[in-house]
Amino acid sequence: MAVTLADVAARARVSAATVSRVLSGNYPVAEATRARVLAAVDELDYVINGPASALAAATSDLVGVLVNDVADPFFGIMASAVQSELGSEKLAVVCNTGGSPERELTYLTLLLRQRAAAVVITGSAVETPEYAAASAAKVGRLAANGTRVVLLGRPASAAPEGSTFAVEFGNREGGRRLTEHLVSLGHRRIGYVAGPADRTTTRHRLEGHRAALAAHGLGGDADALGRLTVHGPYTRQSGYDGALELLDREPGLTAVVGSNDAVALGICAALREKGLDIPGDVSVAGFDDLPFSADATPALTTVRLPLQEAAARAARLALGREESPAGGRHLVPAELVARASTAAPRA
């Protein structure tokens, strides 16, 4: 990288300052001068030095995107949408946290080090006071540095303020609608394979589920609810194991809800292995409406979360391209998608 600003300046017979102004575009430059500079840039095949620019301007072109795992479609779709929305203006730094709070903090530190322009944090938060405090501290540090922080699909830990925003998913509402759908079909004993017990998303979806049950007088006592619920990671395997466990505890189940679509698919596999028909013997439902859900056999009833739109909005907030409502919180609605995996229980 021999060619520097100074070389371009010399060739265009202007000062380095002028070249910088032409390239950054945030200062008026006479048209003739601009053309001369641009020509020189072209002729020399000049590529600006990002780090030098970032150092002088105290901010970089990087936007961090924290996900549990980009290989998981739920996160992959969001990461993709964020990246696409950034265009060629900013670069997306994708970090797999594996859902671990420690790694999340580690990556936030690395992004702080890079003087990232913004950070989009996806995935549910762990609900422990220590984590909340550590997380808030780190976010505060980022904000102090001028980095915009956007929480995507995660509730604002505290009241978001200044340059911190939240795009939240209607998990509670979606969970409620899904269970209402099942109840209205006639189901009374509904199993639930939930996500890890300490995550916000898990809690919200489960709360929606229980709210729907309660609204129809099906809540029962905590013990009964507990017997119908198992927890595990958001994986297919967890659905498989959970379904077997629930079937064992409550042979009379007529429906099982998975905490997400992958879990639901695992539930389906377990039921099928037990010789049960879906939805003839047992109805199954998921959450998220990922692309493969419509293709499954039977097609999965689920709750659609507009991941792309939500992620694109998060990206726009990160870039400061979209105004934020007072309070900085956005709620993205969840929508029931009823398909073939749910039906009325046998009489």
Partner DNA sequence: TCTCCTGTAGTAAGCGCTTTCTGCCCCGGG
Partner DNA sequence: CCCGGGGCAGAAAGCGCTTACTACAGGAGA
Q: Which is nearer to a copy of itself, 85 or 173 (CB)?
A: 85
> Residue holding tokens 């995935």?
123
d(CA 319, CA 48) in angstroms, rounded, equals: 21
**Out of 35, 42, 43, 55, which residue is the one contacting DNA (CB under 7 A)?**
55
Among the candidate windows 8-16, 84-92, 142-150, 326-334, which touches DNA by CB under 7 A?
Answer: 8-16
**Smallest separation (angstroms) from a copy of itself to the CB of 338:** 20
Q: Which is nearer to a copy of itself, 109 or 184 (CB)?
A: 109
Counting contacts by CB under 7 A, is residue 57 touching DNA?
A: yes
Q: Of a copy of itself, DNA, none, which one sits near residue 84, judging by CB under 5 to 8 A according to partner kind?
A: a copy of itself
Counting contacts by CB under 8 A, is residue 84 touching a copy of itself?
A: yes
Counting contacts by CB under 7 A, is residue 14 touching DNA?
A: yes
d(CA 236, CA 242) in angstroms, rounded, equals: 10
Amino acid letter for position 224: A
Q: Which is nearer to DNA, 32 or 222 (CB)?
A: 32
Q: Of DNA, a copy of itself, none, which one sits near residue 69, judging by CB under 5 to 8 A according to partner kind?
A: a copy of itself
**Residues facing 66 on adjacent strands:** 95, 121
**Out of 44, 53, 69, 112, which residue is the one contacting DNA (CB under 7 A)?**
53
The pairing of strands 190-194 and 229-231 is parallel
The pairing of strands 335-337 and 302-304 is antiparallel
Q: Which is nearer to a copy of itself, 16 or 112 (CB)?
A: 112
E strands of the chain, at which residues? 62-67, 91-96, 118-122, 148-152, 164-169, 190-194, 229-231, 255-258, 283-285, 302-304, 329-332, 335-337
* Three-state SS at 29: coil
273 Cβ neighbours under 8 A, 6+ residues apart: none
Q: What is the DSSP letter of 301?
A: B
Amino acid letter for position 331: L
Counting contacts by CB under 7 A, is residue 44 touching DNA?
A: no
Of residues 293, 307, 244, 221, the one with CA closest to residue 264: 293
Counting contacts by CB under 7 A, is residue 30 touching DNA?
A: yes
**Out of 77, 166, 247, 278, which residue is the one contacting a copy of itself (CB under 8 A)?**
77
**Out of 11, 18, 41, 73, which residue is the one contacting a copy of itself (CB under 8 A)?**
73
Alpha-helical regions (H) of 216-260:
222-227, 236-249
Helix (H) or strand (E) holding 174: helix 171-185
Q: Of a copy of itself, DNA, none, which one sits near residue 20, judging by CB under 5 to 8 A according to partner kind?
A: DNA
5 contacts 19 by C-beta, under 8 angstroms: yes
24 contacts 35 by C-beta, under 8 angstroms: no
Counting contacts by CB under 7 A, is residue 20 touching DNA?
A: yes
**Out of 39, 52, 110, 197, which residue is the one contacting DNA (CB under 7 A)?**
52
Counting contacts by CB under 7 A, is residue 4 touching DNA?
A: yes
Counting contacts by CB under 8 A, is residue 80 touching a copy of itself?
A: yes
Q: Which residues bind a copy of itself (CB under 8 A)?
A: 1, 47-55, 58, 60-62, 65, 69-73, 76-77, 79-81, 83-84, 88, 91-96, 103, 106-107, 109-115, 144-145, 236, 265, 269, 292, 295-297
Q: Which residues bind DNA (CB under 7 A)?
A: 1, 4-6, 13-18, 20-21, 23-24, 26-30, 32-33, 46, 48-49, 52-53, 55-58
